[in-house]
């Protein structure tokens, strides 16, 4: 359903518009109506409509004045008036449509169709955004991991990890602030923890945050230089994968 609010000072005009909506636009639900600027603002804030049918001239001010009371307009606006002179000003407010009284059913239906298309587009965009959150990159606030050393549990922002280095059943973490942590997990376990983030394992003993790669040197079998000056060897079988990831940074 398309939720609408009617803001119109004349009762007869409100009733006429509601009758037209009921007869020609059954997909539209009239949530509320108001007879002026202040009352209109109140019902819009209460009902959060998809569209507001808004009269331009009212006793306590214009429809333009009502819109100026909102910091953010998250609804469509269809102006209604008996005077064509307001058309240009309505367009300047980027109204979805403009209906001249007496309202013609076909023009009303056309305006409602525009609202429907916009609502469908917004819904589609929300679905895409939801999909990206679910299957795409992790939200920023979750880019943290817990690392337990001998005496503390450290909550570490993944983006601060420069590299990890294997030491048998332990792993050394090197952070961009110079901090060094020794964790009692294998590098394979750490790789599993960081697989959703931008890390690459160029060598069996090393795991690297790709955002700290400074250059790739092809000499001496190949090695990566990181921004902290570390030089990380690249195994032959990982060379192509490293080059591919560097090109995609």
Q: What is the mean pLDDT of residues 231-245?
A: 82
Q: What is the pLDDT of residues 193-228, one digit of tens each?
A: 898 888 999 999 999 999 999 888 876 668 889 999
Q: What is the mean pLDDT of residues 63-79?
A: 90
The pTM assigned to this predicted structure is 0.52
CA pair distance 24, 100, nearest whole angstrom = 17
User: In the chain, where does the domain assigned CATH 2.40.50.1020 lie?
Assistant: 140-247
Q: What is the pLDDT of residues 18-52, one digit of tens each?
A: 999 999 999 999 999 999 999 999 999 999 999 99
Q: Which CATH number applies to 140-247?
A: 2.40.50.1020
Model pLDDT, residue 119: 86
DSSP string of 28-83, one letter each residue: EEEEEEESSHHHHHHHHHHH--SEEEEESEETTEEHHHHHHT-SS--SEEEEEES-
Q: What is the pLDDT of residues 105-151, one digit of tens each?
A: 999 999 999 999 988 887 766 666 655 555 554 444 458 888 988 88
Domain 2-135: top CATH class: alpha beta
User: In the chain, where does the domain assigned CATH 3.40.50.2300 lie?
Assistant: 2-135
Model pLDDT, residue 132: 56
């Amino acid at each position: 359903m398309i939720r609408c609010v009617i803001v119109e000072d004349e009762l007869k005009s409100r009733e006429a518009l509601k009758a037209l909506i009921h007869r020609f636009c059954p997909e539209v639900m009239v949530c509320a109506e108001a007879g002026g600027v202040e009352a209109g603002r109140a019902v819009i804030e209460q009902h959060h409509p998809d569209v507001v049918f808004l009269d331009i001239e009212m006793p306590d001010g214009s429809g333009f004045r009502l819109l100026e009371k909102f910091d953010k307009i998250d609804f469509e606006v269809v102006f209604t008036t008996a005077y064509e002179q307001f058309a240009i000003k309505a367009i300047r407010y980027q109204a979805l449509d403009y209906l001249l009284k007496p309202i013609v059913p076909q023009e009303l239906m056309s305006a409602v169709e525009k609202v429907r298309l916009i609502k469908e587009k917004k819904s589609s965009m929300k679905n895409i955004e939801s999909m990206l959150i679910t299957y795409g990159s992790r939200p920023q606030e979750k880019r943290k991991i817990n690392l337990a050393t001998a005496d503390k549990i450290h909550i570490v922002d993944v983006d601060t990890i420069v590299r990890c280095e294997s030491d048998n059943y332990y792993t050394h973490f090197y952070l961009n602030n110079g901090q060094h942590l020794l964790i009692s997990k294998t590098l394979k376990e750490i790789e599993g923890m960081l697989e959703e983030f931008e890390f690459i394992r160029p060598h069996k003993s090393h795991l690297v945050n790709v955002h700290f790669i400074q250059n790739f040197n092809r000499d001496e079998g190949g090695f990566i230089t990181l921004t902290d000056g570390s030089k990380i060897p690249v195994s032959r079988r990982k060379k192509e994968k490293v080059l591919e990831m560097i090109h995609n940074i």
